Amino acid sequence: MSDMNKIIDEADDSLLTNMTIDAFRRTMVHYGYWLAQVENQLGIEKAMEVEAEVWGASFGNQLNRLSKIFGFEVKDGVPAHLHTLSRNERVDLLKNLGVNWLANDGIWFQAVEKKYGMNDAKRCNDSCWTRYSPFEAERIKELLGLPEKGGIPALKKALAFRMYALINKQSIEDVDENCIIFRMNECRVQLARKRKGMEDYPCKSVGLVEYPYFARTIDSRIVTECVGCPPDEHPEEWFCAWKFTVE
């Protein structure tokens, strides 16, 4: 019978370091699987309700333990260093987190595409957004304290706080008090393709999932209509545009 503690004790420093990083990876993936399975068993609304409770307890527990190990102070539930950052430093940090978020999305897409092809990558991507888009909307609603039936004013605020808004240039045209047209004027993904001489990525299929799910989560009365999105032709001043109307 093996002495498990002895096996760990005999591991060299390099292995222990790799195990440390892998422990973070396992925790992150396990968290995601829990969310996925609660949704599968109980539905997405209940899953998001549970996750809202779990995150505070889980993050707080992990942060407090790590603060003791690495010797950093925790203040108001976050590393104290965050409170010392200037406004510009906070915005810069958020933008970099936005770039990391988008890169993570792209790495997943490309990995599936490389192994199984574009069709499967697009199917996985579209399905992912049916989960992520309402989740992001719920997080923004809580962060901003938006009402359940906030209408167009709530949607306009929420669109400004998406991860995309940190890294892309977007604009909103007021049609009337119950209708707006949202335009993605500069898209980081599409601009990168343009610089490489590539055609637009045909993202309309995911947009038809992403935007309606997001808008309906902000206010269930909002109806989404695609004005244009690749592979549709579009003017130089925007890549995609969406019309939101409260009915």
3-class secondary structure for 77-113? CEEHHHHHCCHHHHHHHHHHHHHHHHHHHHHHHHHHH
With a cut of 70, which residues of the chain have pLDDT below it? 1-4
Q: What is the pLDDT of residue 1?
A: 46
The answer to the question of residue 106 being in a domain is yes
The answer to the question of residue 1 being in a domain is no
- Please compute, for residue 230, the number of CA atoms within 13 A of its CA located in the half-sphere on the CB side: 17
Counting every residue written for the chain, the total comes to 247
Tell which of 84, 107, 133 closes a domain.
84
Q: In terms of domains, do 120 and 66 share one?
A: no
Q: In terms of domains, do 234 and 172 share one?
A: yes
Contact criterion met (CB below 8 Å) for 156 and 172: yes
Count: domains in the chain:
2
* For residue 231, cis peptide bond before it (omega within 30 degrees of 0): yes
Q: In terms of domains, do 19 and 48 share one?
A: yes
The answer to the question of residue 66 being in a domain is yes
Q: Measured between alpha carbons, how far is 48 from 135 in angstroms, rounded to an integer?
A: 7
pTM tops 0.85, yes or no: yes
Q: What is the pLDDT of residue 6?
A: 76
Count CB-CB contacts under 10 A for residue 111: 12
Q: What is the pLDDT of residue 4?
A: 58
The answer to the question of residue 223 being in a domain is yes
Q: What is the pLDDT of residue 16?
A: 87
Q: Measured between alpha carbons, how far is 32 from 35 in angstroms, rounded to an integer?
A: 5
Q: In terms of domains, do 202 and 161 share one?
A: yes
108 lies in which domain range? 85-247
For 138-168, write each residue's pLDDT tens digit: 999 999 999 999 999 999 999 999 999 999 9
Q: In terms of domains, do 33 and 102 share one?
A: no
- According to DSSP, residue 237 is labeled T
Q: What is the pLDDT of residue 7?
A: 74
CATH number at residue 178: 3.30.1380
The answer to the question of residue 4 being in a domain is no
The answer to the question of residue 133 being in a domain is yes
Q: Measured between alpha carbons, how far is 50 from 180 in angstroms, rounded to an integer?
A: 33
